[in-house]
Structure 1
Amino acid sequence: MDIKRSLVLLFSSYGCFLFGQEKAIDTIYIFDNQMSRVKLFHPVTTISSEDVEKNSTNLSDLLRFQSQIYIKENGRGAVSSPSFRGTTAQQTAFVWNGININSSFLGQGDVNNIPTFGYDQIGVKSGGGSVIYGSGAIGGSIHLNNTLDFNKGFHGSLFSEAASFNTYNNFVKGSYSNDKFSFKVSGNYVSSENNYEVPEFVVGSTGFTNINGRYYNTSVNIGASYKIAAHQTISWQNQMFDASQHYPIFEANGNKTKYNAQTLRSLISWDINKTNLSNSLKAAYTEDNYQYFSDIASTKSSGAAGKNYIFKNDFNYFITPKLNINAIGEFQVNKGKGYDTGFGSISRNIGSLAGLVRYFATKDFSLEAGIKKDFVEDISSPVLYSFSGKWDIVKWYHVGANFSKNFRYPSFNDLYWQPGGNLNLQPETSSNIDMNHEFRFGNLKVMLSPYYMDIKNLISWMPTPEGYWAPFNTSKAESYGLESQVTWNRSFGKHSLKLNGSYTYSKSINKDTRMQMMYVPLHKAVGNIDYRYDFIKVYVQGLFNGLTYTTSDEKRSSAIDPYFIVNAGISADLFKKYTLGFKVNNITNTVYQTVSFYPMPKRNYSIYASINF
């Protein structure tokens, strides 16, 4: 297959532009139009909507068992943050339909305050990506994508689950499309008393009970797309999320607190897709609001409201069948207003210009180079760059290499929180290099990805002589290791079997102390086995997490011990429309924690049903 034909097939499948044919095949619209280009040079792990049902408790559970990310969770359903390749939560970018949605206040995303359902695809990309996806894309990025189909008629689905600890999870979705119009709406409601017990985990003189651990959340997603001309589409995507988390306490007579969060995300996109060029103009509005209650029976004691206005244009053009240029411009206005947080009304303007060149020398060899300059109000930002290449050396061996400079600018809390905010902070920067070795032997695929990161100007909150904490650019860090993945699948008759396993080695050290960074396990391994016979499906999941230090001095007595968790489930498809399933989590009844003093549940169960029509 020649390079022109390869590009036609690739870009048509993502609703982008085509080169070398008269009429665009526009049957699906994906809001993150960069994702198809990213996949040309970087491995992206894709979690389908069917995979979500295996770990439907929350997004933390899903990413913990189906990706290489380490998830730090303060007990089931509570505050949760990700760690890519030994980096911090602030060095992970959450990207919703191509828009970076990390909190302006915290500079990160709370995994459990992001809905699990409502996306058509969840992608996990390791490695730097600030040239395309902006601040925070240092260790990796998590992509929450929606798509809209055309000419599919009406479809609907309903998922309902009841689980241990009085947990209920309900999701409904409906869609309709013809040759010009596409519409999709979905809603999800989750609630849990979350009152699990771990008698073996002693707190004081008694076993642990997750007192005041209740949580609930509601999310609504709406998407629509209309073809205004043969090569032009207007699309809209909207998400509303409302959540409440009660923070666990260790004694029945302790002070009960809670945290409420509301987010709104709305995105309008005007896309032009012609034979050799495409342009995507996006306008987005997002809100990120929270309230903290030091007493759940009283009014809020602190909180903040954030509003972001985002404008982004992405222009892509094939000069020749082998040479592609891509220009991306973005402008943001970030506004915030605090309540008993030490800061009042604040605002920041952010702009960026990026350019990428892709050269497809042959069908087996391609290169990409990118450069970007960010303009962050009152912050000196570095010039960012990226270089990537991919070479299919032989039929069974492919190699890729990536080198990039990435960054994270200080958050509102870093700059303005009083007392403590530091207006003299510099952005964190990193130099990343990684390689991807891919081996294919029939149905077997093996991926080996060694990596190295050098990170400067780490922002850390530290105690001051005045008695309060403040952020400083404290140290340098380096992170190196290996990500590996093995997949194998086979179908024979009514049987199908799929194996998927990954192993990650992460050495992340503070250059000053030469000690391992906190909450970075040296070893993590995940395995998934899926078997199907006719209408019966069975899966088994395994997770091994190695020794994890929780202090900066590698104190062994405070470290989290290694643990191994096994989940399993069985389901049956009935009459092609109905599915009934049963799941058992933590079959081995393992006592484990991902954050010190907050154990996770022991063995627990759920039963679910779904209908597709």
Structure 2
Amino acid sequence: MRYFVFILMPVLLTAGNLLQVRDLLTMRPLPDVRVISGRDTLVSDDNGIVNLGGKSTVTWPLLLQKKGYFPARLTRPLRRPIVTYLMPQLTTEEITVVGSRPARQPLSLPANFSFIDVRQRASGLESAAELLARQEGLIIKSYGGSGQLNTISVRGMSAEQTQVSFDGVPVNNLQLGSVDLGKYDSFGLAGISVYRGGNALFGGNGSIGGVVSIIPDSIRDRLFVHAGGAVGSYGNRSYRFRLDFPAGRLQNSLQVFGADAVNDYPATKQARDGRLRNRDFSRRRFAYRNRLLLGHGWQAQTGWYAFKHAGGSPSPFTDAAGEAQNRARLDRDESLVTVKLLRSFAAGRFKLHLFQRNEWMEYRDPALLINYRPLHSTHFNRQQGAIASVFYQPASAVQLRAGLEGYREKIRSSEAGNHARSHEAFFTVADWRVFDRPDDFVSALHLNASLRAVRYSGSTVQWLPAAGFSLQCKAGRFYGAIGKNYRAPGFNDLYWVPGGNPDLKPEYADHAEIGHGFTRAFSFLLVNGNGAFYYNRVRDLIKWQPDGSLWRPVNIGAVESKGVELRVALSDLRDRFRLRFNYTYGQSQKSEPEFPGDRTVGNQLPYLPRETLHFSARVRLAGWRLGFQLSRESFRYLTIANDERQVLPGFTVMSLNVRRNFRFGMMLLRTGFSVSNLLDVRYQTIPGYPMPPRMFAFTIDVSNEQNNHK
């Protein structure tokens, strides 16, 4: 019978007076939405659909309400089928929607923004790096299999020029400036948001390429238990456990995660074969969070996160003999403590966020002798910070956000010495809805503006303005933005011994972007997409280069990054299938000479492919969930000289996964099987660090989850 209803879906939607409600960020149907029409209250089904009955019985406007989402008003009927959206109260530090908003209107950010709904796709073996690798405009540089270093490039910018935050806290390493995204497993996350472009409107200093926000899952207000595990090829295995429990007004969440792997897969270089060694790792993560409802709109939240990693830190693969000497080891121990105080009121919200994070790292290489002793280096970093912000909606058409930030950073390193610095920032963001006329061809216009002022100890104040617009019309949404940003040198750039340069200047960047996004409902299909053109120019780029027998960081000329990003997604209104395609063409080039007669001006930067393509398909059939992914990346130059004899070849990889859920009373059992690198392609993203061949994985999870569709 359910298949018969599915076949009749186009007829039912066009013949009836039906409304479907979807999540604005993920585009997924929302069940259990209360739709209030006059004195009548209706509730959406599992597919987010509400039958409004005859047109004469509908009282406009409709009020849409769902726990965890901002309420919205639907002011008048639209052409059928009616598809509308609710904004989740899941917010990031970069942008927050406060209060009600027009339910028809898409997100008015003047940027190519995307949100990865981790709760719908986590397998237990996927890391944040693997999920981000399938997004347009993003490149993951991976040093091998699971547990190995994974850094990100957004729109051709370096990992140091991309800001990453976790639970609202910036987590870029104080010495290196980058983040290992491979250490963030998908378990316990709600989602990952990506703001592309070096616009201080969305991120702080250092976000020249963009901002990646990793968002923990919200604490359940009822007893919730989840346990699971996974096993895979080459010794990959993981376990996970979560317990959410209320204690009066105090809501608690406890999470434990562990993962191990050997990663001893075969590799080949110039017809020389060998099996990889020293790629093993052991990782443990613990998290405890709570939320205390204080009344009168106040609540307090605390979080404690601990992360431990021990494993190999391999050199590039050469052959079997070289692997026998590959014995360097790396241990990491990190912690993060956060305290938040929030106050919600009718027109906005106040938040005070305090945190402290510690990073400890120990590196040992018995094969590398320094002063006749094996290398043994230790590094300890500490950052303390406070962020106070207020969101205020003085009128229905105006939203304001302003705040203050203060940070204190210290390092104690065997190679970079003991140093400390502080920096402060003030920021303000304004969004003005100039008009909202749903029936006109041009239906809405938003203007955005921001200003960020940043000062590091010992330097002058940096002023970072930005502005943008978002124009909604029948053809979709047109947007554009311009802005400035900058990045201060990292501790290693300034103080590493030997080679550090304390006279380095910050990097300065100008950014511009224009784009078009659309969402259309055709009978039983929903289509949405986005296209963007971007331009980034970075001056005083910090680059390590030879200086006699040493390497030393210096400020060089400029780098330009420009390109096109395309994304299209297609699904049916009951979410029985979903197709997604994205494509990126980007040029990241040296734009100024370093010396007279420099022939590398205009050349592509190393390790960055010009083209990437990703396709994914997901089908729900008779209780089964089938998924397919394909990724294609073009070749990469190994040097700035762009010698065609020194390249990493392009590659195409595919993967498959199958999932099945079983319901036993209050218990939900979820099983999954996946095959990655389906065609067993041998490829690399960093020379000397082969990616895994074909791998298999099996996952199993059991919980008292009420929603069977997760």
Q: Shared fold by TM > 0.5?
A: yes
1:489 corresponding residue in structure 2: 571
Counterpart of 1:549 in structure 2: which amino acid? Y
The alpha-carbon deviation at position 287 of structure 1 amounts to 0.8
Structure 2 CA distance for partners of 1:401 and 1:278, relative to 1, 3 Å: same
2:123–2:672 contact (8 Å) kept in structure 1 = no
* Equivalent residue in structure 2 for 1:426, among 502, 505, 524: 505
CA contact (8 A) 2:199 2:482 kept: no
Cα gap change, 1:14 to 1:138, in 2 (>3 Å): farther
Give SS of 2:211's match. Answer: strand
Matched, 1:354 2:416: no
Letter in 2 for 1:538: L
Is 1:261 equivalent to 2:332 in the alignment?
Answer: yes
User: 2: CA distance between counterparts of 1:179 and 1:458?
Assistant: 54
Aligned CA distance change for structure 1 residues 144 and 303 (closer, same or farther; 3 Å): same
Q: CA deviation at 1:32?
A: 3.1
Cα distance in 1, alignment partners of residues 425 and 95 from structure 2: 19
Q: What are the residue-to-residue correspondences of 1:170-569 with 2, within 5 Å?
A: 170-177=239-246, 180-198=249-267, 201-202=268-269, 206-249=272-315, 250=317, 251-295=322-366, 301-339=376-414, 341=415, 343-363=416-436, 364-394=444-474, 396-442=475-521, 443-465=526-548, 467-491=549-573, 496-512=576-592, 513-569=601-657
* Matched pairs, number: 590
Shift of 1:154: 1.0
Matched residue of 1:517: which SS?
Answer: coil
Question: Is the CA contact (8 Å cut-off) linking 2:411 and 2:418 kept in structure 1?
Answer: yes
Q: Distance in 1 between matches of 2:66 and 2:455?
A: 31
Report the Cα offset of residue 197 of structure 1: 0.8
CA gap of 1:252–1:399, structure 2 versus 1, over 3 A, is closer
Deviations 1:83-107, CA, capped at 9 Å, x for gaps = 1111111111111122211111011
Task: Give 1:420 deviation, angstroms.
Answer: 1.3
Q: 1:319 to 1:507 in 2, by over 3 A?
A: same
Task: State the SS of the aligned residue for 1:295.
Answer: strand
SS class of match (1:134): coil
SS at match of 1:373: strand
What amino acid is the match of 1:121?
G
Deviation at 1:66, TM superposition (A): 4.9
The runs of 5 or more residues in structure 1 that have no matched partner are: 19-26
Larger radius of gyration: 2
For the residue of structure 1 that corresponds to 2:234, the secondary structure is coil
Distance 2:70 2:357 in 1: 25
Seen in structure 2, the aligned counterparts of structure 1 residues 327 and 366 have a Cα distance that, compared at 3 Å, is same
2-side partners of 1:365 and 1:612: how far apart? 45
The answer to whether the Cα contact below 8 Å between 2:228 and 2:241 also exists between their aligned partners in 1 is: yes
- Does the residue aligned with 2:637 lie in a helix, a strand or coil? coil
Which runs of 5 or more structure 2 residues have no equivalent in the other structure? 1-59, 74-86, 99-106, 437-443, 593-600, 705-710
Counterpart CA distance in 2 for 1:163 and 1:322 is: 52
- What SS is found at the alignment partner of 2:122? helix
Deviates more, 1:206-215 or 1:82-91: 206-215
Residues 1:103 and 2:173 are matched in the alignment: yes
1:487 Cα offset (Å): 0.6
Change (3 A) 1:192 1:283: same
Q: Please report how far the alpha carbon of residue 444 of structure 1 lies from its aligned counterpart in structure 2 after TM superposition.
A: 0.9
Range with greater deviation from structure 2 (70-79 or 451-460): 70-79
Q: 1:588 to 1:404 in 2, by over 3 A?
A: same
What's the CA shift for 1:178? 7.7
Output one character per residue of 1:109-142: Cα deviation in whole Å (capped at 9) or x when no partner: 1222334433221222211243553232111121
The alpha-carbon distance between structure 1 residues 180 and 389, as it changes in their structure 2 partners (threshold 3 A), is: farther
Cα distance in 2 for partners of 1:292, 1:115 equals: 23
Per the TM alignment, residue 470 of structure 1 is displaced from its structure 2 partner at its CA by 1.0
Is 1:140 matched with 2:210?
A: yes
Q: Distance in 2 between matches of 1:389 and 1:88?
A: 27
1:17 and 1:273 in contact (8 A); partners too? no
Deviation at 1:78, TM superposition (A): 1.9
Please give the alpha-carbon distance, in whole angstroms, between the structure 2 residues aligned to 1:455 and 1:17.
Answer: 41
Report if the CA contact (8 A) 1:258-1:295 is conserved: no
Distance 1:566 1:441 in 2: 29
Q: 2:142 aligns with which of 67, 73, 79?
A: 73
Which stretch shifts more, 576-585 or 158-167?
A: 576-585
State the alpha-carbon separation in 2 of the partners of residues 149 and 59 from structure 1. 20
TM-score using structure 2 length: 0.79
Given that 1:288 and 1:307 are in contact with CA atoms closer than 8 Å, whether structure 2 keeps it comes out as yes
Give the deviation of 1:505 after TM superposition.
0.7
Q: 2:678 touches 2:694 (CA, 8 Å); kept in 1? A: yes
Q: Which moved more, 1:591-600 or 1:38-47?
A: 38-47
Identify the residue that residue 21 of structure 1 maps to in structure 2: none
Note the C-alpha offset of 1:44.
2.8
Render the CA deviation track for 1:248-284: whole Å, top value 9, x for unaligned: 3542431410111121111111111100132101111
Query: Aligned runs of 1:552-591 on 2, under 5 Å?
Result: 552-575=640-663, 577-591=668-682
SS across alignment from 2:134: helix
Distance 1:516 1:605, change over 3 A: same
CA distance in 2, matches of 1:230, 1:300: 57
Post-superposition Cα deviations, 1:338-371, rounded to whole Å, max 9, x if no partner, equal 12x0x33211011011112221222322111100
Alpha-carbon distance, 1:14 to partner: 5.9
SS at match of 1:469: strand
1:46 partner amino acid: F
| Residue in 1 that maps onto 2:695 | 604
- Conserved in 1, the CA contact under 8 Å of 2:124 and 2:230? no
Q: Which moved more, 1:375-384 or 1:563-572?
A: 375-384
Task: Give 1:22's aligned residue.
Answer: none
Q: Is the 8 A contact 1:64 1:71 kept in 2?
A: yes
Quote the sequence identity (%): 19
What is the TM-score normalised by the length of structure 1? 0.90
Shift of 1:145: 0.8
Structure 1, residues 315-355: CA drift from partner, whole Å, max 9, x if none? 1222222223221100000011012x0x3321101101111
Residues 211 and 383 (structure 1), Cα distance of their counterparts in 2 relative to 1, 3 Å cut: same
Paired amino acid for 1:584: V
In structure 2, relative to structure 1, the CA distance for the partners of 1:15 and 1:271 (3 Å cut) is: farther
Structure 1 residue 593 corresponds to structure 2 residue 684: yes
In the TM superposition, structure 1's runs of 4+ consecutive aligned residues that sit over 4 Å from their partners are 8-18, 27-31, 296-300
Matched-pair contact (CA < 8 Å) for 1:28–1:147: no
Local SS of the residue matching 1:165: helix
Q: Give the root-mean-square deviation of aligned CA atoms.
A: 2.7
